[in-house]
Structure 1
Amino acid sequence: MDELTRQATRQWTLAQPAVSAFIASVVRDFRDRDDVLQNVAVAVIESFHAYDPGSPFIPWAIGIARRQVGLYLRRRGRDPLVFDDDAVACLAVAFHAEAQDRSAALDYLQDCLGSLEGRAKKLIGLRYREDLKPAAIASQTDMTANSVAKALQRVRDHLRECIDRKALEANVQ
């Protein structure tokens, strides 16, 4: 596999859930959704050479999905429950905005995780990096499983508040 195809595959793997959700919002039949999603994947790989790495990938992929959905809708033109082009465009804009929000939230999460210290950092690492359940964490930390679960909930609440605060600060600027 050449490097361009490898990069395209990596980007597509990250974008696929958002693109799939966009397609599902327009295409009712699940078999048709799968077909459209496959067509989008092929189109993304085939046209990846035209992608500008300086711009966000997900909106670019949703643009390709929008064209593929448009082709699908034109083929299904007699169906009275098919969205028109304007509705599909509005959905594409909404999914683009949602993808940007999620991307920003992940950036904020990284910052907030970096600010954790001590026991909170250790518990989050054991739970999410090591994929341990509270009972297993309890045996490593001299805590009860119940106290681990409560401590993890407090840390998650702290992270959620930190993300919300950073998002608010970004919107003010």
Structure 2
Amino acid sequence: MDETTRQATRQWTLAQPAVSAFVTSMVRDFRDRDDVLQDVAVAVIESFDSYDPKLPFVPWAIGVARNQVGLYMRNRRKDRLVFDEEAIACLAIAIPAVAPQEAAKLNFVTECLSGLESRAHRLFELRYQKDMKPAAIAERVDMSANSVAKALQRIRDRLRVCVERKSLEATS
């Protein structure tokens, strides 16, 4: 690996949480989001020679992401939930400003998830990692769809409280 690729990889690794937050705010489908994020990573590495190291890397990487999201949106014009260019521009400015605080919260989410009991962890995984709807989850875990939805709400509440508690502890 040459030195330029090594530097690009280092910078990307640090910027990836903020870029991921930007892409996630624009691309709601999990599979599409992962594809767009992968395209962004490739574009960042390929266009790293155009990056000016005197400027902050995260806003530059979000600019690359903005272009990739724009390509994705143009291909998805027929969808009802598509942001316009102005909304994308506003988020591209806002995400780098809040990214450092929010990146810490992502770590807390991981910690809080590890504290869930196995059944709750399984429901969370089916919903948010496998992107299954409550009705499909219900069939798989032998519960009613309504029970699954309520359980997921309780899990989200527990995770929110846990993340807020850890955030307060970290700032104290």
Q: Normalised by the size of structure 1, how large is the TM-score?
A: 0.58
Structure 1 counterpart of 2:87: 87
Letter in 1 for 2:30: F
**What secondary structure does 2:55 align onto?**
coil
Letter in 2 for 1:14: L
Structure 2 counterpart of 1:35: 35
Cα displacement (A) at 1:96: 2.3
Cα displacement (A) at 1:36: 0.3
Structure 2 counterpart of 1:147: none
Letter in 2 for 1:66: R
Which structure exhibits the higher relative contact order, with contacts defined as CA atoms closer than 8 Å and separated by 6 or more residues?
2
Cα displacement (A) at 1:160: 3.1
**What secondary structure does 1:77 align onto?**
coil
Structure 2 CA distance, aligned partners of 1:67 and 1:160?
35
Cα displacement (A) at 1:97: 1.9
Unaligned runs of 5+ in 1: 107-155, 162-173
Unaligned runs of 5+ in 2: 105-167
Cα displacement (A) at 1:80: 1.3
Letter in 1 for 2:171: R
Structure 2 counterpart of 1:18: 18
Give deviations 1:46-83, integer Å, cap 9, x for gaps.
00011111111000000000010000000000111111
Structure 1 CA distance, aligned partners of 2:12 and 2:96?
15
Give deviations 1:136-164, integer Å, cap 9, x for gaps.
xxxxxxxxxxxxxxxxxxxx86x836xxx
Q: Normalised by the size of structure 2, how large is the TM-score?
A: 0.59
Structure 1 CA distance, aligned partners of 2:15 and 2:30?
19
Structure 1 counterpart of 2:47: 47
Identity %: 70
Give deviations 1:89-124, integer Å, cap 9, x for gaps.
11111102224xx38xx9xxxxxxxxxxxxxxxxxx
Structure 1 counterpart of 2:59: 59
Find out whether 1:77 has 2:77 as its counterpart: yes
Letter in 2 for 1:60: W
